[in-house]
Amino acid sequence: MRILVVGGGPAGLYFALLMKKLDRAHEITVLERDGPNDTFGWGIVFSDRTFSYLKENDSASADRIVAACETWDNVDVVHRGTKVSIGGNRFSGISRIAFLNILHRGCEEAGVDLRFHTPVSDPQALTGFDVLVGADGANSLVRQHWRDAFQPALDVRRNKYIWLGTNQLFHGLTLTFRETEAGVFAAHSYKFSKTASTFIVECAPETWQRAGFAAKSADETCGYLERIFADDLDGHRLLTNNFVRWLNFVLVKNARWHHEAVVLLGDALHTAHFSIGSGTKLALEDSIALAHAFAGAGSVADALESFQRTRKPIVDSLQDAAHESLVWFEHMASDMALAPIAFAYRLMTRSGRIDREKLRRRDPAFVAAYENETR
């Protein structure tokens, strides 16, 4: 088959790699508007379960990814200046650009045609391919072009967030909450290399307005946030990577995942709030599922139908959990009166995917402390 992938993010690259492994005769081209070393954001996070999927499907790239990762076992919740650590939560962080470069290398070794600095302005002009994959992000042009077929639903959420970095190392997935005169700020942070951590700050729109961020420069924004999280940053600066912009999370869903020979992947297809760290996980598992659908189908139409039929219930379930987490962060101020351990318990169980017994298996001492405090 001749396959064209629009978008060189995790979903598009990994699907291209897997399809080339499936049949070296496939002619696969990936079009990416940015360069091979251009990226926005800092680090991304994975669970061990995702690594097992990667190992099963392409051990070479999986080994490279694991070797480049920083790992930890704890979630740390900082509330009222007190840190509560919950064990049994094994995650790994990796630089986004390092991750993409590993997939670039895998694609090149497999014979995928990677074309950087190649923006697409008219998907309709992309002809002559057996399959067209729209892996071009939450603002997908492919999805927009065939919107009547895909029937997308885009929900712009209320909280503001900004994606920053720092050389302060957070040795665990750390969720930090600080109350200020402007309102409550939450920081999502974790190390992704030997020298740097991701530092995402989230707040309600009213808090954002009272803090005056609309009129602040990049330096002023970082300075303001450095003062709020001074105790957590331990003298380290917040870094911008030449990109400072407050965003609103967009929840993406599509009623249909494919149209004729066009199919969506990754954030073009669906998004999950960063508070559960599953965006890249979903993208990679989409790619695996779609490649498996092609391996077991007799036609493109059959493969695309199989992909949606088998994958959509899984995605719907995870999006439901991510939505619960998102809503909790939108209303986090209502739980700030809780004591640190009770607050940490509420945070850990916010999505419904982790209940008390699951949490007890992960960290019995934490649950015992919570039960002792709340009896």
Neighbours of 44 (CB within 10 A): 24
Diameter of the chain by CA atoms?
A: 67
Q: Identify the pLDDT of residue 50.
A: 84
Q: What is the pLDDT of residue 265?
A: 97
Structure tokens at 47: 């669970």
Write the pLDDT tens digit of every residue in 286-310: 999 999 999 989 899 999 999 999 9
pLDDT above 90 as % of the chain:
88
**Crossing angle between the packed helical segments 48-57 and 279-295, to the nearest 10 degrees:** 30
What was the pLDDT predicted at 361?
96
Residue with tokens 């895998």: 106
Domains of the chain: 2-69+93-156+250-329 (3.50.50.60), 158-247 (3.30.9.20), 332-374 (no CATH)
Signed CA dihedral, 235, 239, 244, 250: sign only: negative
Compute how many other C-beta atoms are within 10 angstroms of the C-beta atom of residue 235.
8
Residue 324's pLDDT is what? 94
pTM: 0.95
Higher pLDDT, 169 or 40: 169
Q: Which residues contact 35 (CB under 8 A, 6 or more apart)?
A: 116, 117
DSSP 271-282: ---GGGT-HHHH
Closest CA to 163 of 245, 249, 281: 245
Pair 62, 92: CB distance under 8 Å: no
The arrangement of strands across the sheet holding 113-115 comes to 113-115, 27-31, 2-6, 131-134, 262-264, 258-259
Sign of CA dihedral 144, 145, 147, 149: negative
Provide the pLDDT for residue 180. 98
Torsion 164-165-166-170 (CA) sign: positive
CA distance 252 to 121: 21
Rounded Cα distance, 333 and 302, in Å: 48
d(CA 42, CA 199): 8
- When the pLDDT of each residue in the chain is averaged and rounded to a whole number, the result is 95
Q: In angstroms, rounded to a whole number, what is the distance separating the alpha carbons of residues 186 and 168? A: 17
- Token pair in block for residue 236: 């380290």
The tokens for 220 are 């002023």
H-helix segments, 2-95: 10-22, 48-57, 59-67
- Split at pLDDT 50, 70, 90, the class of 15 is very high
- Residue 243: φ, ψ to 5°: -145, 105
Do 46 and 137 contact (CB within 8 A), yes or no? no
Among 126-130, 339-343, 365-369, the least confident range: 126-130
**Looking at residue 272, what is its pLDDT?**
93
The structure tokens 């990226």 sit at 39
- Number of alpha helices (DSSP H) and beta strands (DSSP E) in the chain: 14, 17
4 secondary structure, DSSP code:
E
Structural contact between residues 307 and 258, judged by C-beta atoms closer than 8 angstroms: yes
Token output for 317: 């379930």
Instruction: Provide the residue count of the chain.
Output: 375
Is 90 exceeded by the pLDDT of residue 278? no
Query: Is residue 160 within 8 Å of residue 246, measured between CB atoms?
Result: yes
